[in-house]
Structures are given as structure tokens and as C-alpha cells.
Amino acid sequence: MDEGDVNLEACAIREAKEEVGIEVELIRPLRTLYVQRPDRDGSAILVHYEAKRLTEVIPGPETYACNWFPVKELPLDCAPNVYEIMKDLL
């Protein structure tokens, strides 16, 4: 979240647009995770939502790669929090 953000939902919608160039509709909140970030000398709170993608991906400067996978066929190089949250959905 940025300092000016008022709520988590608005932040999630904005981040989807900024990071992978998509418009989303949030469906429901999922689990929130507290994780240690030794690579950044600290910790983070990761808030997850189930969302419906409304537009196609338009890669921006923050986008390294973006692909869609069935939940049961995630690639091995996803961030650890992705696997943790997906376990709840299976």
C-alpha cells in the first residue's frame, strides 16, 4: 500500500493495473499472510483476493512475465505465498 491508500480493495485493484495492466473485479478476500523478507531486511503483510480479470494483460515496466495457469497446474517458480493460498482453494 502507498501512504495515500484508503483501503485494501482499492489498493489491490490499482496494483493489478500497475503491475500487469489488467482491470479486475474483486470477488472475495482470501487469507492474509505475514512473511519474513530477508532479501529486503524485514517483513511484509500479503493480502490476497480472488478476482475476476476484466481485461487482457498489457505488460508495463514492472511486468517481468505474466501467464494464466489452472490452479492445479501452477509452475514451480511461483512465489511461496501463491502455493500457500492456492492450497486453501483446492
For the chain, the structural domain boundaries read 8-89
Out of 3.40.50.1700, 3.40.50.720, 3.30.300.30, 3.90.79.10, select the CATH number for domain 8-89: 3.90.79.10
Tens digits of per-residue pLDDT, 23-80?
A: 999 999 999 999 987 777 788 889 999 999 999 988 878 777 788 888 889 999 888 8
Contact present, 48 and 32 (Cβ < 8 Å): yes
- Nearest CA to 57 out of 16, 12, 25 is that of 16
Model confidence, pTM: 0.80
pLDDT for 12 equals 93
- CA-CA distance, 10 to 5, in Å (whole number)? 7
